[in-house]
Structure 1
Amino acid sequence: MNDLENRIRTSFDSQSMMHTLGAQLASIEPGRITIAAPILPSSLQQHGAGHAGLAFSIGDSAAGYAALTLMPEGAEVMTVEMKINLMSPATGERLVAEGRVIRPGRRIMVVAADVWAEIGENRKHVAMLQGTMIPV
């Protein structure tokens, strides 16, 4: 495991929310992070689809960790603001959030994430997020 991957995994592992959701880091690259989480019975809304909170949580973390990959050693990351567009019910076995940095900056970073619902080999685009991260 390289220094970047170790740094991201150490930070991610300290998030109790990600543990509660069953989320895991699926891939780590500079400026890009993928997080996957099962759609658990405890993560459903009243119609039986994955709750928007699940999509937001993993999308926000994927975008935030994408930003952290481009921040200096010793920095941590926090969300300044985040917008979500929910496009389709999150039905399936799991959600996959693909976060990326749109514009890196020293003081703030503009980020985005796409969230996909997966069942078997099929994927459905269920949400898009865009926001701003800041190093702390």
Structure 2
Amino acid sequence: MNNKKKNELIKNFENSKLMKLFGGQISNFNEDYVEIEVSKKEFMMRPAGMFNGATIASLIDIASYASALTKSSSGYYATVELKINYLSPAVGDKLIAKANVIKRGKLLTVVRSDIFAAINEKENLVSTSLVTLMCLQNKSKEIQID
């Protein structure tokens, strides 16, 4: 991945209002792959002490979008399908999203995103998903920031 693409991905991520709210950080990325970490905050939690499903779904969507951006040369992406399997309660100090492009087409890109809850750096898989994104062409010359 070239430096221009890396900078574009980081700029896009830093301008995400949802990631600012979540306090999300990109912990690792390369071509077709992104890891995002989100530390526990009270508004993300269910009364029983686990992360709520809305937080997980939002993190999946953003990580999938970011992994698609790692190789995109033009345009931006819109989610057209998001299927989540919640596998176990998301109990932990933070969530880690690991998103990997598994098929990239001219119009549609399919991403697998796994979410792990971590306690003392021990990760437990709590959800897995398939996300289909559609590449939309940006008519302006500016970088699309979402």
Return the TM-score normalized by structure 2.
0.87
Asked if 1 retains the 8 angstrom alpha-carbon contact of 2:5 and 2:71, the reply is: no
Structure 2 equivalent of residue 114 of structure 1: 114
DSSP-derived class of the 1:109 partner:
strand
Corresponding position of 1:44: 45
Q: Give distance in 1, aligned partners of 2:21 and 2:66.
A: 18
User: Do the aligned residues in 2 keep the contact of 1:26 with 1:34 (CA within 8 Å)?
Assistant: yes
Answer whether contact 1:110 1:132 (CA < 8 A) is retained. Answer: yes
Unaligned runs of 5+ in 1: none
- In structure 2, stretches of 5+ residues that fail to align are 137-146
AA partner of residue 13 (structure 2): F
Equivalent positions of 1:120-131 (< 5 A) are 120-131=120-131
Q: Structure 2: which amino acid aligns with 1:41?
A: E
One-letter code of the match for 2:90? A
- Name the count of aligned residue pairs: 135
Following superposition, the deviation at residue 123 of structure 1 comes to 1.0
- Aligned residue for 1:11? 12
In the TM superposition, structure 1's runs of 4+ consecutive aligned residues that sit over 3 Å from their partners are none
> How far has the Cα of 1:69 moved from its partner?
1.2
> Which structure has the greater CA radius of gyration?
2
Instruction: Give the C-alpha shift of residue 116 in structure 1.
Output: 0.3
TM-score by length of 1: 0.93
Matching residue of 2:141: none
1:62, distance to aligned residue in structure 2 (A)? 1.1
- Measured against aligned partners, the alpha-carbon deviations of 1:64-84 in whole angstroms (never above 9, x if no partner) come to 111111211x42222111011
Give 1:135 deviation, angstroms: 1.6
- 1:1-136 pair list within 5 angstroms: 2-72=3-73, 74-136=74-136
CA RMSD of aligned residues (A): 1.3
Partner Cα separation in structure 1 for residue 8 and residue 60 of structure 2:
19
Instruction: Describe the SS at the equivalent of 2:81.
Output: strand
Taking only the aligned residue pairs, the percentage that are identical comes to: 27
What per-residue deviation string (whole Å, max 9, x for no partner) do you get for residues 9-63 of structure 1? Answer: 1111121011111111111200001110012111101311011111111121111
